[in-house]
Amino acid sequence: MTQTFLRIDSYQMIAMKGPELQVPCLLIHDLKDRYIPAADSEQVKLTIAGAKLMQTTGLGHMRILQDENVVQRIVAFIQQK
């Protein structure tokens, strides 16, 4: 049996569902991310009403959640809501 999958680009999904989001959103992106361009997070921020964007430098894609400043920002964001 052959399965067929519809590939939906992540930007298509955000464009479709982003404006509907009614929850606080914190985006965290490193400017030196080698996998996802920083401009992508800016675009996502513009799509989701009220989204906050924290940009870091030098953490890359994989170490971002190991950074104490990032963790503190996440905790503060959760606690303010």
Question: Mind listing the pLDDT tens digit for each residue in 9-68?
Answer: 666 777 777 788 888 999 999 999 998 888 888 988 988 889 999 999 999 988 999 999
> What whole-number distance in Å separates Cα of residue 22 and Cα of residue 58?
32
Q: Rounded to an integer, what distance in angstroms lies between the CA atom of residue 15 and that of residue 27?
A: 16
- The C-alpha atoms of residue 78 and residue 42 are separated, in whole angstroms, by 21
pTM to 2 decimal places: 0.77
With cut-offs at 50, 70 and 90, classify the pLDDT of residue 1.
low
What residue has token string 């989001």?
Answer: 21
| Amino acid symbol at 38 | A
Radius of gyration of the chain (CA): 15
**pLDDT number for residue 67:** 96
Which of the two residues, 71 and 15, has the higher pLDDT score?
Answer: 71
Domain boundaries, the chain: 18-79
Please, are residues 24 and 48 in contact by the beta-carbon 8 Å criterion?
Answer: no
